[in-house]
A and B are shown apart, each in its own frame.
Chain A
Amino acid sequence: MNRAVQPTYTLDKVSEENFALNLGPQHPGTHGVLRVVLHMDGEYILQADPVLGYGHRMQEKIAENMTYPQALPYVCRMDYLGALSYNLAWVLAVEKLCQFEVPERAEKIRVITTELNRISSHLLWWGAFLLDLGGFTPFLQALTDRELILDLLEEVTGSRLTYCYYRFGGLPSDVDDTWFTRVMEFIEGFRLRLPRYHDLVTGNVIFYHRAKDVGVILPFDAAGYGLSGPILRGSGIGFDVRRHEPYSGYERYNFEVPVDETGDCLGRYNVRMMEIEQSLNIVEQAIGSITEGPVRSKVPKLIKPPEGEVAMAVETPRGQLVIYIVSDGTKKPYRVKYRVPSFANLSIFAKLARGQLLADALAILGSMDMVIPEVDR
Protein backbone atom coordinates (compact mmCIF):
# COMPACT_ATOMS: atom_id res chain seq x y z
CA MET A 1 0.00 0.00 0.00
CA ASN A 2 1.28 3.43 -0.89
CA ARG A 3 1.58 5.47 2.30
CA ALA A 4 1.60 8.76 0.42
CA VAL A 5 -1.90 8.11 -0.82
CA GLN A 6 -3.25 6.62 2.39
CA PRO A 7 -1.74 8.17 5.49
CA THR A 8 -1.23 5.76 8.36
CA TYR A 9 -2.82 8.28 10.69
CA THR A 10 -5.55 10.86 10.25
CA LEU A 11 -6.34 13.89 12.35
CA ASP A 12 -9.79 12.71 13.43
CA LYS A 13 -8.22 10.10 15.71
CA VAL A 14 -7.10 12.76 18.19
CA SER A 15 -7.02 11.45 21.75
CA GLU A 16 -5.85 12.60 25.16
CA GLU A 17 -2.38 11.33 24.36
CA ASN A 18 -1.48 14.51 22.38
CA PHE A 19 1.60 16.42 23.38
CA ALA A 20 4.25 18.68 21.88
CA LEU A 21 7.74 17.27 21.48
CA ASN A 22 10.72 19.47 20.84
CA LEU A 23 13.29 17.87 18.53
CA GLY A 24 16.56 19.76 18.48
CA PRO A 25 18.13 22.28 18.01
CA GLN A 26 20.94 20.07 19.34
CA HIS A 27 19.99 16.60 18.23
CA PRO A 28 22.11 14.13 16.29
CA GLY A 29 19.14 13.19 14.11
CA THR A 30 18.67 16.71 12.77
CA HIS A 31 22.26 16.98 11.43
CA GLY A 32 22.98 20.44 12.70
CA VAL A 33 21.07 23.10 14.52
CA LEU A 34 17.62 22.39 13.21
CA ARG A 35 14.71 22.42 15.59
CA VAL A 36 11.42 20.72 14.81
CA VAL A 37 8.37 21.20 17.02
CA LEU A 38 6.38 18.01 16.76
CA HIS A 39 2.77 17.62 17.80
CA MET A 40 2.49 14.00 18.71
CA ASP A 41 -0.18 11.48 19.42
CA GLY A 42 1.76 8.74 21.14
CA GLU A 43 4.39 7.67 18.64
CA TYR A 44 2.64 9.29 15.67
CA ILE A 45 3.29 12.80 14.38
CA LEU A 46 0.22 14.97 13.95
CA GLN A 47 2.10 17.99 12.76
CA ALA A 48 5.75 18.93 12.31
CA ASP A 49 6.89 22.54 12.34
CA PRO A 50 10.56 23.13 11.46
CA VAL A 51 12.07 26.15 13.23
CA LEU A 52 15.00 27.54 11.28
CA GLY A 53 17.53 30.28 11.71
CA TYR A 54 19.86 29.01 14.44
CA GLY A 55 22.74 29.17 12.00
CA HIS A 56 21.58 32.29 10.18
CA ARG A 57 24.49 34.61 9.32
CA MET A 58 22.84 36.88 6.74
CA GLN A 59 25.13 35.62 3.98
CA GLU A 60 23.31 37.66 1.35
CA LYS A 61 23.91 40.95 3.18
CA ILE A 62 27.56 39.98 3.79
CA ALA A 63 28.04 39.46 0.05
CA GLU A 64 26.36 42.78 -0.74
CA ASN A 65 28.84 44.59 1.51
CA MET A 66 31.91 43.05 -0.07
CA THR A 67 33.71 43.09 -3.38
CA TYR A 68 33.30 40.05 -5.61
CA PRO A 69 36.64 38.40 -4.65
CA GLN A 70 36.13 39.14 -0.93
CA ALA A 71 32.81 37.30 -0.92
CA LEU A 72 34.41 34.17 -2.40
CA PRO A 73 35.48 32.43 0.84
CA TYR A 74 32.14 33.17 2.52
CA VAL A 75 30.17 31.27 -0.10
CA CYS A 76 31.90 28.00 0.79
CA ARG A 77 30.79 28.30 4.42
CA MET A 78 27.18 27.63 3.55
CA ASP A 79 27.33 24.02 2.45
CA TYR A 80 30.37 22.71 4.27
CA LEU A 81 30.04 19.24 2.77
CA GLY A 82 29.89 20.39 -0.85
CA ALA A 83 31.93 23.58 -0.58
CA LEU A 84 33.50 23.26 -4.01
CA SER A 85 30.11 23.35 -5.74
CA TYR A 86 29.38 26.64 -4.01
CA ASN A 87 32.83 27.93 -4.84
CA LEU A 88 32.21 26.94 -8.45
CA ALA A 89 28.78 28.58 -8.58
CA TRP A 90 30.13 31.91 -7.35
CA VAL A 91 33.07 32.04 -9.78
CA LEU A 92 30.87 30.89 -12.68
CA ALA A 93 28.25 33.55 -11.88
CA VAL A 94 30.87 36.31 -11.83
CA GLU A 95 32.58 34.92 -14.93
CA LYS A 96 29.25 34.92 -16.73
CA LEU A 97 28.55 38.47 -15.60
CA CYS A 98 31.96 39.75 -16.72
CA GLN A 99 32.23 37.30 -19.67
CA PHE A 100 35.62 35.92 -18.61
CA GLU A 101 37.06 32.96 -20.46
CA VAL A 102 38.25 29.85 -18.59
CA PRO A 103 41.02 27.61 -20.03
CA GLU A 104 40.05 24.02 -20.76
CA ARG A 105 42.54 22.51 -18.31
CA ALA A 106 41.13 24.65 -15.50
CA GLU A 107 37.59 23.56 -16.36
CA LYS A 108 38.62 19.91 -16.21
CA ILE A 109 40.40 20.26 -12.88
CA ARG A 110 37.30 22.04 -11.58
CA VAL A 111 35.14 19.13 -12.66
CA ILE A 112 37.52 16.55 -11.13
CA THR A 113 37.66 18.31 -7.76
CA THR A 114 33.91 19.07 -7.65
CA GLU A 115 33.03 15.47 -8.41
CA LEU A 116 35.45 14.16 -5.77
CA ASN A 117 33.79 16.56 -3.35
CA ARG A 118 30.39 15.20 -4.37
CA ILE A 119 31.54 11.64 -3.62
CA SER A 120 32.88 12.66 -0.22
CA SER A 121 29.60 14.42 0.58
CA HIS A 122 27.57 11.37 -0.45
CA LEU A 123 29.84 9.13 1.64
CA LEU A 124 29.29 11.21 4.75
CA TRP A 125 25.55 11.21 4.05
CA TRP A 126 25.65 7.43 3.67
CA GLY A 127 27.33 6.99 7.04
CA ALA A 128 25.15 9.53 8.81
CA PHE A 129 21.91 8.17 7.35
CA LEU A 130 22.75 4.68 8.57
CA LEU A 131 23.74 6.15 11.93
CA ASP A 132 20.24 7.68 12.11
CA LEU A 133 18.80 4.24 11.47
CA GLY A 134 20.91 2.73 14.24
CA GLY A 135 23.86 1.21 12.39
CA PHE A 136 27.27 2.36 13.54
CA THR A 137 29.65 0.29 11.38
CA PRO A 138 28.71 1.91 8.02
CA PHE A 139 29.73 5.31 9.37
CA LEU A 140 33.28 4.11 10.06
CA GLN A 141 33.51 2.45 6.67
CA ALA A 142 32.33 5.60 4.87
CA LEU A 143 34.66 7.90 6.79
CA THR A 144 37.66 5.71 5.94
CA ASP A 145 37.07 6.24 2.23
CA ARG A 146 36.07 9.86 2.69
CA GLU A 147 39.38 10.47 4.43
CA LEU A 148 41.23 9.41 1.26
CA ILE A 149 39.29 11.97 -0.78
CA LEU A 150 39.91 14.68 1.81
CA ASP A 151 43.65 13.95 1.61
CA LEU A 152 43.57 14.28 -2.17
CA LEU A 153 41.59 17.52 -2.05
CA GLU A 154 43.73 18.94 0.74
CA GLU A 155 46.75 18.52 -1.45
CA VAL A 156 45.40 20.73 -4.23
CA THR A 157 43.16 23.14 -2.34
CA GLY A 158 45.01 23.49 0.95
CA SER A 159 41.99 22.83 3.15
CA ARG A 160 40.00 19.81 4.21
CA LEU A 161 36.45 21.06 4.45
CA THR A 162 35.68 24.66 3.46
CA TYR A 163 37.59 24.65 0.21
CA CYS A 164 38.13 27.88 -1.66
CA TYR A 165 40.10 26.77 -4.68
CA TYR A 166 38.62 28.39 -7.77
CA ARG A 167 39.36 31.93 -8.90
CA PHE A 168 37.73 34.16 -11.49
CA GLY A 169 39.12 32.99 -14.83
CA GLY A 170 40.55 29.68 -13.64
CA LEU A 171 42.58 28.30 -10.75
CA PRO A 172 45.28 29.82 -8.53
CA SER A 173 47.71 26.96 -9.08
CA ASP A 174 48.17 24.00 -11.36
CA VAL A 175 48.01 20.36 -10.31
CA ASP A 176 50.95 18.05 -10.90
CA ASP A 177 50.57 14.83 -12.85
CA THR A 178 51.31 12.53 -9.92
CA TRP A 179 48.15 13.82 -8.27
CA PHE A 180 46.08 12.55 -11.20
CA THR A 181 47.77 9.16 -10.85
CA ARG A 182 46.85 9.06 -7.18
CA VAL A 183 43.23 9.98 -7.97
CA MET A 184 43.13 7.11 -10.47
CA GLU A 185 44.56 4.79 -7.82
CA PHE A 186 41.88 5.91 -5.40
CA ILE A 187 39.14 5.29 -7.97
CA GLU A 188 40.50 1.82 -8.67
CA GLY A 189 40.59 0.94 -4.98
CA PHE A 190 37.23 2.53 -4.25
CA ARG A 191 35.56 0.60 -7.09
CA LEU A 192 36.75 -2.60 -5.40
CA ARG A 193 35.41 -1.46 -2.03
CA LEU A 194 32.01 -0.25 -3.31
CA PRO A 195 30.46 -3.76 -3.42
CA ARG A 196 31.19 -3.96 0.33
CA TYR A 197 28.96 -0.94 0.86
CA HIS A 198 26.15 -2.75 -0.90
CA ASP A 199 26.83 -6.03 0.91
CA LEU A 200 26.78 -4.30 4.27
CA VAL A 201 23.68 -2.14 3.81
CA THR A 202 21.81 -2.24 0.50
CA GLY A 203 20.73 -5.84 0.80
CA ASN A 204 20.22 -5.72 4.56
CA VAL A 205 16.69 -6.73 5.49
CA ILE A 206 16.45 -4.42 8.54
CA PHE A 207 17.56 -1.45 6.47
CA TYR A 208 15.16 -2.41 3.69
CA HIS A 209 12.16 -2.39 6.02
CA ARG A 210 13.20 0.91 7.61
CA ALA A 211 13.51 2.64 4.23
CA LYS A 212 10.99 0.99 1.91
CA ASP A 213 7.72 2.95 1.44
CA VAL A 214 8.71 5.52 4.05
CA GLY A 215 8.34 9.19 3.16
CA VAL A 216 7.03 8.83 -0.38
CA ILE A 217 7.28 12.01 -2.47
CA LEU A 218 5.01 12.15 -5.50
CA PRO A 219 6.34 13.87 -8.65
CA PHE A 220 3.52 16.44 -8.52
CA ASP A 221 4.52 17.51 -4.99
CA ALA A 222 8.14 17.67 -6.02
CA ALA A 223 7.32 20.39 -8.56
CA GLY A 224 5.14 22.30 -6.11
CA TYR A 225 7.88 22.46 -3.50
CA GLY A 226 10.65 23.08 -6.02
CA LEU A 227 12.69 20.06 -5.01
CA SER A 228 15.94 19.21 -6.74
CA GLY A 229 18.87 16.87 -6.46
CA PRO A 230 18.78 13.20 -5.40
CA ILE A 231 15.48 13.77 -3.55
CA LEU A 232 13.81 14.75 -6.81
CA ARG A 233 15.52 12.03 -8.84
CA GLY A 234 14.39 9.53 -6.21
CA SER A 235 10.83 10.48 -7.23
CA GLY A 236 11.33 9.62 -10.87
CA ILE A 237 12.14 13.05 -12.36
CA GLY A 238 15.53 13.05 -14.06
CA PHE A 239 16.39 16.70 -13.56
CA ASP A 240 20.09 17.39 -13.17
CA VAL A 241 21.61 20.81 -13.83
CA ARG A 242 24.76 19.17 -15.20
CA ARG A 243 22.64 17.68 -18.00
CA HIS A 244 19.97 20.37 -18.20
CA GLU A 245 22.09 23.52 -18.32
CA PRO A 246 25.64 22.22 -18.73
CA TYR A 247 28.42 24.34 -17.24
CA SER A 248 32.20 23.85 -17.02
CA GLY A 249 32.07 21.50 -19.99
CA TYR A 250 29.82 18.81 -18.47
CA GLU A 251 28.35 18.31 -21.95
CA ARG A 252 31.69 16.70 -22.91
CA TYR A 253 31.32 13.81 -20.47
CA ASN A 254 29.35 10.68 -20.94
CA PHE A 255 27.37 10.06 -17.75
CA GLU A 256 23.91 8.96 -16.73
CA VAL A 257 21.41 10.75 -14.51
CA PRO A 258 20.26 7.99 -12.12
CA VAL A 259 16.54 7.95 -11.41
CA ASP A 260 14.44 5.82 -9.07
CA GLU A 261 10.68 5.77 -9.52
CA THR A 262 9.69 4.82 -5.98
CA GLY A 263 10.05 8.20 -4.25
CA ASP A 264 10.70 6.68 -0.81
CA CYS A 265 13.79 6.71 1.41
CA LEU A 266 15.13 3.62 -0.38
CA GLY A 267 14.72 5.37 -3.73
CA ARG A 268 16.74 8.35 -2.55
CA TYR A 269 19.36 5.97 -1.15
CA ASN A 270 19.66 4.11 -4.45
CA VAL A 271 19.96 7.32 -6.45
CA ARG A 272 22.86 8.56 -4.33
CA MET A 273 24.66 5.23 -4.50
CA MET A 274 24.36 5.25 -8.30
CA GLU A 275 25.48 8.88 -8.39
CA ILE A 276 28.74 7.97 -6.66
CA GLU A 277 29.52 5.60 -9.52
CA GLN A 278 28.60 8.22 -12.14
CA SER A 279 30.86 10.75 -10.44
CA LEU A 280 33.71 8.24 -10.56
CA ASN A 281 33.08 7.87 -14.31
CA ILE A 282 33.16 11.63 -14.83
CA VAL A 283 36.43 11.99 -12.90
CA GLU A 284 37.97 9.17 -14.94
CA GLN A 285 36.90 10.73 -18.23
CA ALA A 286 38.17 14.16 -17.19
CA ILE A 287 41.57 12.80 -16.16
CA GLY A 288 41.76 10.68 -19.31
CA SER A 289 41.21 13.67 -21.58
CA ILE A 290 43.20 16.31 -19.73
CA THR A 291 45.78 18.20 -21.76
CA GLU A 292 48.62 20.54 -20.84
CA GLY A 293 47.89 24.23 -20.89
CA PRO A 294 47.35 27.34 -18.81
CA VAL A 295 45.01 27.15 -15.80
CA ARG A 296 44.17 30.82 -15.53
CA SER A 297 43.13 33.31 -18.17
CA LYS A 298 43.97 36.98 -17.97
CA VAL A 299 41.40 38.80 -15.91
CA PRO A 300 41.51 42.39 -14.64
CA LYS A 301 42.80 42.88 -11.07
CA LEU A 302 39.75 44.94 -10.19
CA ILE A 303 36.58 42.94 -10.80
CA LYS A 304 33.98 45.46 -11.93
CA PRO A 305 31.18 43.76 -13.85
CA PRO A 306 28.93 45.76 -16.17
CA GLU A 307 25.45 46.69 -15.01
CA GLY A 308 23.05 43.76 -15.33
CA GLU A 309 21.89 40.56 -13.75
CA VAL A 310 22.77 36.91 -13.93
CA ALA A 311 21.34 33.63 -12.64
CA MET A 312 23.84 30.80 -12.45
CA ALA A 313 22.67 27.28 -11.63
CA VAL A 314 24.99 24.53 -10.40
CA GLU A 315 24.25 20.98 -9.30
CA THR A 316 25.54 20.63 -5.75
CA PRO A 317 25.48 17.25 -3.94
CA ARG A 318 22.10 18.27 -2.54
CA GLY A 319 20.49 19.73 -5.65
CA GLN A 320 20.15 22.85 -7.69
CA LEU A 321 21.87 25.96 -6.39
CA VAL A 322 21.06 29.22 -8.17
CA ILE A 323 23.10 32.32 -7.49
CA TYR A 324 21.26 35.40 -8.69
CA ILE A 325 23.39 38.54 -8.81
CA VAL A 326 22.20 42.05 -9.64
CA SER A 327 25.15 44.27 -10.53
CA ASP A 328 24.98 48.06 -10.58
CA GLY A 329 28.37 48.43 -12.30
CA THR A 330 30.37 48.94 -9.09
CA LYS A 331 32.87 46.57 -7.53
CA LYS A 332 30.32 45.29 -5.01
CA PRO A 333 27.23 43.29 -5.98
CA TYR A 334 23.99 45.25 -5.54
CA ARG A 335 21.93 42.21 -4.64
CA VAL A 336 22.86 38.59 -4.17
CA LYS A 337 20.32 35.81 -3.75
CA TYR A 338 21.33 32.27 -2.96
CA ARG A 339 18.64 29.82 -3.96
CA VAL A 340 19.88 26.89 -1.93
CA PRO A 341 18.68 23.33 -2.57
CA SER A 342 18.34 22.24 1.08
CA PHE A 343 15.97 25.11 1.86
CA ALA A 344 13.47 24.03 -0.77
CA ASN A 345 14.03 20.35 0.02
CA LEU A 346 13.40 20.82 3.74
CA SER A 347 10.13 22.68 3.09
CA ILE A 348 8.43 19.40 2.13
CA PHE A 349 9.43 17.74 5.42
CA ALA A 350 6.36 18.94 7.33
CA LYS A 351 4.13 17.34 4.71
CA LEU A 352 6.08 14.07 4.72
CA ALA A 353 6.30 13.75 8.49
CA ARG A 354 2.55 14.11 9.02
CA GLY A 355 1.05 10.84 10.17
CA GLN A 356 4.38 9.05 10.40
CA LEU A 357 6.06 7.39 13.35
CA LEU A 358 8.72 9.53 15.00
CA ALA A 359 11.39 7.00 14.08
CA ASP A 360 10.27 7.10 10.44
CA ALA A 361 10.37 10.90 10.42
CA LEU A 362 14.02 10.72 11.48
CA ALA A 363 14.65 8.25 8.67
CA ILE A 364 13.03 10.70 6.24
CA LEU A 365 15.14 13.57 7.54
CA GLY A 366 18.24 11.42 7.24
CA SER A 367 17.39 10.42 3.68
CA MET A 368 17.00 14.08 2.69
CA ASP A 369 20.68 14.86 3.39
CA MET A 370 20.24 18.22 5.06
CA VAL A 371 23.04 20.67 5.69
CA ILE A 372 21.50 23.15 8.07
CA PRO A 373 23.98 26.06 7.66
CA GLU A 374 23.01 25.92 4.01
CA VAL A 375 19.31 26.19 4.85
CA ASP A 376 19.88 29.05 7.28
CA ARG A 377 22.57 30.82 5.27
Chain B
Amino acid sequence: MVMNNPLQKALDKAGIEYQPTEFPNSGLHCSLVLDKEQVQPLARALSRNGFFIETVTAVDKLKDEIFECVYLFNHYEESLRLLVRVSLPRNGAVQPSIGKIFPGAVWHERETTEMFGIRFEGCLDSRNLLLPEDADFHPLCKDFSGVS
Protein backbone atom coordinates (compact mmCIF):
# COMPACT_ATOMS: atom_id res chain seq x y z
CA MET B 1 0.00 0.00 0.00
CA VAL B 2 1.38 3.42 -0.98
CA MET B 3 1.62 5.89 1.87
CA ASN B 4 0.80 9.22 0.31
CA ASN B 5 -0.33 11.37 3.20
CA PRO B 6 0.25 11.73 6.96
CA LEU B 7 -3.35 10.87 7.77
CA GLN B 8 -3.09 7.55 6.01
CA LYS B 9 0.14 6.84 7.94
CA ALA B 10 -1.47 7.73 11.27
CA LEU B 11 -4.61 5.69 10.63
CA ASP B 12 -2.54 2.75 9.49
CA LYS B 13 -0.54 2.93 12.72
CA ALA B 14 -3.76 2.92 14.76
CA GLY B 15 -5.21 0.06 12.67
CA ILE B 16 -8.09 2.06 11.20
CA GLU B 17 -9.21 1.98 7.58
CA TYR B 18 -8.68 5.20 5.61
CA GLN B 19 -11.65 6.46 3.60
CA PRO B 20 -11.50 10.06 2.37
CA THR B 21 -14.79 11.89 2.01
CA GLU B 22 -15.65 14.54 -0.54
CA PHE B 23 -13.63 17.41 0.82
CA PRO B 24 -15.11 20.50 -0.92
CA ASN B 25 -18.69 19.77 0.08
CA SER B 26 -18.35 19.14 3.78
CA GLY B 27 -14.99 20.66 4.66
CA LEU B 28 -13.98 17.26 6.07
CA HIS B 29 -11.22 15.25 4.46
CA CYS B 30 -12.12 12.13 6.39
CA SER B 31 -14.92 11.23 8.76
CA LEU B 32 -14.69 8.25 11.11
CA VAL B 33 -16.99 6.50 13.54
CA LEU B 34 -14.94 4.84 16.26
CA ASP B 35 -15.29 3.02 19.55
CA LYS B 36 -14.18 4.95 22.58
CA GLU B 37 -11.18 2.67 23.17
CA GLN B 38 -9.77 3.57 19.74
CA VAL B 39 -9.54 7.32 20.39
CA GLN B 40 -6.40 7.37 22.55
CA PRO B 41 -4.27 5.18 20.21
CA LEU B 42 -5.46 7.25 17.26
CA ALA B 43 -4.63 10.54 19.02
CA ARG B 44 -1.16 9.23 19.77
CA ALA B 45 -0.60 8.26 16.13
CA LEU B 46 -1.93 11.64 14.95
CA SER B 47 0.31 13.53 17.35
CA ARG B 48 3.37 11.66 16.04
CA ASN B 49 2.45 12.50 12.46
CA GLY B 50 2.26 16.24 13.02
CA PHE B 51 -1.47 16.71 13.44
CA PHE B 52 -2.91 19.40 15.69
CA ILE B 53 -6.15 19.41 17.60
CA GLU B 54 -8.89 21.71 16.41
CA THR B 55 -11.56 20.92 18.93
CA VAL B 56 -13.37 18.38 21.08
CA THR B 57 -17.12 18.74 21.36
CA ALA B 58 -20.32 16.74 21.35
CA VAL B 59 -23.68 16.53 19.62
CA ASP B 60 -26.72 15.60 21.70
CA LYS B 61 -28.84 13.08 19.74
CA LEU B 62 -31.84 13.12 22.02
CA LYS B 63 -33.96 10.89 19.75
CA ASP B 64 -31.39 8.09 19.71
CA GLU B 65 -30.59 8.56 23.43
CA ILE B 66 -26.90 9.09 22.68
CA PHE B 67 -24.19 11.73 22.81
CA GLU B 68 -21.87 11.87 19.86
CA CYS B 69 -18.47 12.97 21.05
CA VAL B 70 -16.81 14.78 18.14
CA TYR B 71 -13.09 15.39 17.63
CA LEU B 72 -11.62 17.56 14.90
CA PHE B 73 -7.97 17.26 13.92
CA ASN B 74 -6.05 18.91 11.13
CA HIS B 75 -2.52 19.04 9.76
CA TYR B 76 -0.32 22.14 9.46
CA GLU B 77 1.17 21.15 6.11
CA GLU B 78 -1.75 19.94 4.07
CA SER B 79 -5.46 20.21 4.54
CA LEU B 80 -6.48 16.91 6.13
CA ARG B 81 -9.36 17.71 8.45
CA LEU B 82 -10.32 14.54 10.28
CA LEU B 83 -13.60 14.20 12.14
CA VAL B 84 -13.88 11.41 14.69
CA ARG B 85 -17.23 10.50 16.15
CA VAL B 86 -17.77 8.35 19.22
CA SER B 87 -21.24 7.31 20.38
CA LEU B 88 -21.80 7.38 24.12
CA PRO B 89 -24.91 6.56 26.17
CA ARG B 90 -26.74 9.69 27.36
CA ASN B 91 -26.67 8.54 30.97
CA GLY B 92 -23.25 8.45 32.60
CA ALA B 93 -21.21 9.10 29.47
CA VAL B 94 -17.51 8.50 30.07
CA GLN B 95 -14.81 9.01 27.46
CA PRO B 96 -11.03 8.51 27.84
CA SER B 97 -9.20 11.84 27.90
CA ILE B 98 -6.58 12.74 25.29
CA GLY B 99 -5.29 15.65 27.41
CA LYS B 100 -1.96 13.95 28.02
CA ILE B 101 -1.37 13.50 24.28
CA PHE B 102 -2.67 16.91 23.16
CA PRO B 103 -2.37 19.35 26.10
CA GLY B 104 -4.70 21.74 24.28
CA ALA B 105 -7.48 19.16 24.48
CA VAL B 106 -7.84 19.74 28.24
CA TRP B 107 -9.75 23.00 27.82
CA HIS B 108 -11.94 21.55 25.07
CA GLU B 109 -12.71 18.55 27.28
CA ARG B 110 -13.52 20.79 30.25
CA GLU B 111 -15.95 22.71 28.05
CA THR B 112 -17.59 19.52 26.78
CA THR B 113 -17.92 18.22 30.34
CA GLU B 114 -19.73 21.29 31.63
CA MET B 115 -21.89 21.74 28.52
CA PHE B 116 -23.00 18.11 28.08
CA GLY B 117 -22.10 16.22 31.25
CA ILE B 118 -19.70 13.87 29.45
CA ARG B 119 -16.96 12.87 31.88
CA PHE B 120 -13.42 12.58 30.51
CA GLU B 121 -11.56 9.86 32.35
CA GLY B 122 -8.02 10.86 33.24
CA CYS B 123 -8.55 14.52 32.39
CA LEU B 124 -5.97 16.61 34.22
CA ASP B 125 -8.49 19.27 35.16
CA SER B 126 -12.23 18.77 35.50
CA ARG B 127 -13.34 22.16 36.84
CA ASN B 128 -15.92 24.23 35.00
CA LEU B 129 -14.34 26.50 32.42
CA LEU B 130 -16.93 28.89 31.00
CA LEU B 131 -19.83 28.32 33.39
CA PRO B 132 -19.76 29.44 37.05
CA GLU B 133 -17.66 27.14 39.21
CA ASP B 134 -20.71 25.79 41.09
CA ALA B 135 -22.89 25.20 38.01
CA ASP B 136 -24.16 21.61 37.87
CA PHE B 137 -26.42 21.95 34.82
CA HIS B 138 -25.49 21.13 31.23
CA PRO B 139 -26.90 23.84 28.96
CA LEU B 140 -26.10 22.39 25.54
CA CYS B 141 -28.18 19.26 26.19
CA LYS B 142 -31.31 19.33 24.05
CA ASP B 143 -33.57 18.70 27.07
CA PHE B 144 -32.13 21.64 29.04
CA SER B 145 -34.89 24.15 29.67
CA GLY B 146 -33.17 26.79 31.79
CA VAL B 147 -32.31 27.29 35.44
CA SER B 148 -34.86 28.58 37.89
Contacts and interface: CB of A to CB of B under 8 A. Distances in A.
Given A223-B47, A377-B130, A61 B139 contact: yes
Interface stretch (A108-116, A281-289, A341-349): A341-349
Nearest to B144: A61
A42 interface: no
B72 A324 contact: yes
Contacts of B130: 52-53, 56, 376-377
Contacts of A308: 26
B51 interface: yes
A93 to B, nearest CB: 8
Nearest to A55: B130
Given A310-B26, A311-B72, A312-B27, A60 B52 contact: no
Q: Interface residues of A: mostly helix, strand, loop or mixed?
A: mixed
Given A52-B129, A377-B130, A311 B47 contact: no
Interface in B42-70: 47, 50-55, 57, 59-60, 70
Contact of A339 (B72, B77, B139): B72
A324 B53 CA distance: 14
Interface in B83-139: 83, 102-104, 106-107, 128-132, 139
Interface string A203-223: 000000000000000000111
A311 B104 contact: no
B140 A226 contact: no
Interface residues of B, number: 35
A343 B55 CA distance: 10
A124 to B, nearest CB: 25
Nearest to B26: A310
B143 to A, nearest CB: 13
A224 B104 contact: yes
B57 to A, nearest CB: 5
Contacts of A184: none
Contacts of B128: 53
A96 B107 contact: no
A61 B147 CA distance: 14
A226 B106 contact: no
A322 B81 CA distance: 11
Nearest to B102: A224
Interface residues on A, range: 35 or more
A5 to B, nearest CB: 17
A313 B72 CA distance: 12
A221 B79 CA distance: 20
A123 interface: no
Interface in B17-59: 25-28, 47, 50-55, 57, 59
A326 B59 contact: yes
Interface in A233-248: 237, 239, 244-245
A376 to B, nearest CB: 6
A344 B107 CA distance: 8
Contacts of B103: 221, 224-225, 347, 351
14 contacts: A53-B132, A60-B140, A223-B50, A223-B76, A225-B52, A225-B103, A226-B53, A245-B27, A309-B28, A310-B27, A312-B27, A324-B55, A334-B59, A347-B106
Interface of B: 25-28, 47, 50-55, 57, 59-60, 70, 72, 74, 76-79, 81, 83, 102-104, 106-107, 128-132, 139-140
Interface of A: 52-53, 56, 58, 60-61, 96, 99, 221-227, 232, 237, 239, 244-245, 308-313, 320, 322, 324, 326, 334-335, 337, 339, 343-344, 347-348, 351, 376-377
Given A312-B27, A313-B74, A322-B55, 4 more contacts: A53-B132, A224-B52, A226-B55, A313-B27
